[in-house]
């Protein structure tokens, strides 16, 4: 009998522990538990048709998005020791397909490199352009204007994949009319924002101490990465190129600026045909801001070469001296100011000459032999220049 009892206890296992008594639910917990039973997907409420304004905005975006591209400026560097090649994206922005020949227009600052002290030291050697279908192609800067912050790229993509943007006018814009902006803010491609024309005839400052006149002010949200993208009217026509936000913010605060399309339509064909606007020929070249800094010059333009028989040569401007191997052994003149305006780099001088090409006398303040002297250049009137800019 005892053995049978022991066997039964072994088969039953250890005595089960008694469950603890449940704590009474608080009124809040009881309410939560009661409503858990009603968890299920919501039934969408029906809505009426989209408004005419919404339908128009959607239609314009679908029509124009294929004309907007995403631009990445790439710096390719080679390690002098290992030989390893690295690619680094140094700038991103937007662009618009200008014509049926693969030309894309953007801001010049989108495809330039910054020096350590804010100088623009030149275009990036590699530019990648991503179309609306997500495919990326190589591009090359074929024309640019410092003064107007405009660059033109030739994109090596199938022409049938690039849809030119419809062109409008900016001389008949009115404050209060609707505008649309498409771009790639912070790398978010093909972002649409909407606003109104907030003001007209705003001067837009550039990085070269010039101003683009007749700028369009809008409250459409524009952020870093929108530069070079289109500003459209409600008909889906290009009326401007988004280019700037107030420098003190770095992000949209309801104020942004666009270069008017009438200016683009005047400048871009010249840049496509000739590469640059045509300032007067002075007859000298200067080093880039980067090269000047390697020589210890952080302010002004280091004169490189002076062409014989030119206004610069006749005025006595002096370039660097080189040894038999072509290495610079002595600095010549450093141009500190043009017509009394201090110069930071060569882009600033080029911009000033684009905006107001001089017809005759030009005065440079030049650092020569430790002293500042004035050098006068006598120029001939330039043969051609875009009028009315």
CATH of the domain at 374: 2.30.42.10
Q: Can you give the pLDDT at residue 114?
A: 64
Do the domain assignments include residue 39?
no
Cβ of 156: how many Cβ atoms within 10 Å? 11
Do the domain assignments include residue 58?
no
CATH of the domain at 145: 2.40.10.10
Do the domain assignments include residue 360?
yes
Q: Rounded to an integer, what distance in angstroms lies between the CA atom of residue 275 and that of residue 272?
A: 6
The answer to whether residue 133 is catalytic is no
Contact criterion met (CB below 8 Å) for 331 and 302: yes
The catalytic position among 94, 170, 227, 256 is 227
Q: Give phi and psi for 124, each to the nearest 5.
A: -70, 140
Q: Rounded to an integer, what distance in angstroms lies between the CA atom of residue 318 and that of residue 305?
A: 8
- Examine the fold and report which residue of 161, 187, 206 is the final residue of a domain before the chain moves on: 161
pLDDT digits (tens, 9 = 90+) for 297-349: 888 899 999 999 888 999 999 998 888 888 888 888 999 999 888 887 777 78
Q: Can you give the pLDDT at residue 385?
A: 36
Q: How many domains does the chain have?
A: 2
Q: Averaged over 86-97, what is the pLDDT?
A: 84
Do the domain assignments include residue 27?
no
The answer to whether residue 359 is catalytic is no
Do the domain assignments include residue 46?
no
- Examine the fold and report which residue of 130, 161, 192 is the final residue of a domain before the chain moves on: 161
Q: What residues make up the domain containing 157?
A: 64-161
Do the domain assignments include residue 213?
no
Residues near 70 by beta carbon (within 8 Å), at least 6 away in sequence: 92, 94, 95, 129, 130, 184, 189, 190
pLDDT digits (tens, 9 = 90+) for 55-72: 999 999 999 999 999 999
Do the domain assignments include residue 354?
yes
Tracing tokens 């399309």 back to the chain, one arrives at 261
- Examine the fold and report which residue of 161, 181, 213 is the final residue of a domain before the chain moves on: 161
> What integer best gives the mean pLDDT of the chain?
84
The answer to whether the predicted template modeling score (pTM) of the entire model surpasses 0.85 is: no
Do the domain assignments include residue 93?
yes
The catalytic position among 67, 149, 178, 256 is 149
The answer to whether residue 170 is catalytic is no
pLDDT digits (tens, 9 = 90+) for 143-167: 998 889 999 999 999 999 999 999 9
Nearest by Cα to 349 from 294, 282, 295: 282
Q: Can you give the pLDDT at residue 387?
A: 34
Quick one: pLDDT band at residue 252, thresholds 50, 70, 90? low
* pLDDT above 50: residue 243: yes
The catalytic position among 109, 132, 170, 207 is 109
pLDDT > 90: percent of the chain:
47
């Amino acid at each position: 009998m005892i053995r049978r009892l022991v066997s039964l206890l072994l088969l039953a296992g250890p005595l089960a522990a008694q469950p603890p008594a449940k704590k009474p639910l608080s009124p809040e917990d009881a309410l939560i538990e009661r409503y858990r039973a009603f968890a299920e997907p919501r039934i969408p409420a029906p809505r009426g048709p989209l408004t005419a304004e919404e339908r128009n905005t959607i239609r314009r975006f679908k029509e124009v998005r294929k004309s907007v591209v995403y631009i990445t400026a790439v710096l390719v560097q080679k390690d002098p020791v290992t030989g390893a090649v690295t690619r680094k994206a140094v700038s991103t922005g937007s662009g618009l397909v200008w014509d049926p020949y693969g030309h894309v227009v953007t801001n010049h600052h989108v495809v330039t490199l910054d020096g350590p002290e804010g100088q623009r030291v030149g275009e990036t050697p590699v530019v990648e352009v991503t179309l609306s279908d997500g495919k990326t192609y190589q591009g090359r800067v074929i024309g640019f204007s410092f003064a107007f912050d405009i660059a033109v790229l030739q994109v090596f993509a199938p022409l049938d994949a690039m849809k030119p943007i419809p062109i409008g006018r900016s001389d008949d814009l009115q404050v209060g009319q609707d505008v649309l902006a498409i771009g790639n803010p912070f790398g978010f491609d093909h972002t649409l924002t909407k606003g109104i024309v907030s003001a007209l005839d705003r001067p837009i400052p550039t990085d070269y101490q010039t101003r683009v006149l007749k700028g369009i002010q809008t409250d459409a949200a524009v952020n870093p990465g929108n530069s070079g993208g289109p500003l459209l009217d409600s008909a889906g026509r290009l009326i401007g190129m988004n280019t700037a936000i107030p420098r003190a913010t770095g992000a949209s605060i309801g104020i942004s600026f666009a270069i008017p399309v009438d200016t683009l339509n005047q400048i871009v064909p010249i840049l496509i045909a000739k590469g640059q606007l045509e300032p007067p020929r002075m007859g000298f070249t200067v080093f880039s801001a980067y090269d000047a800094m390697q020589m210890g010059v952080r302010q002004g333009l280091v004169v490189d070469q002076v062409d014989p028989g030119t206004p610069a040569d006749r005025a006595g401007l002096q370039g660097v001296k080189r040894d038999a191997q072509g290495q610079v052994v002595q600095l010549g003149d450093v141009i500190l100011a043009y017509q009394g305006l201090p110069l930071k780099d060569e882009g600033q001088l080029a911009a000033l000459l684009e905006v107001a090409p001089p017809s005759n006398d030009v005065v440079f303040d030049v650092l020569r032999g430790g002293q500042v002297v004035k050098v006068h250049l006598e120029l001939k009137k330039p043969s051609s220049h875009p009028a009315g800019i």
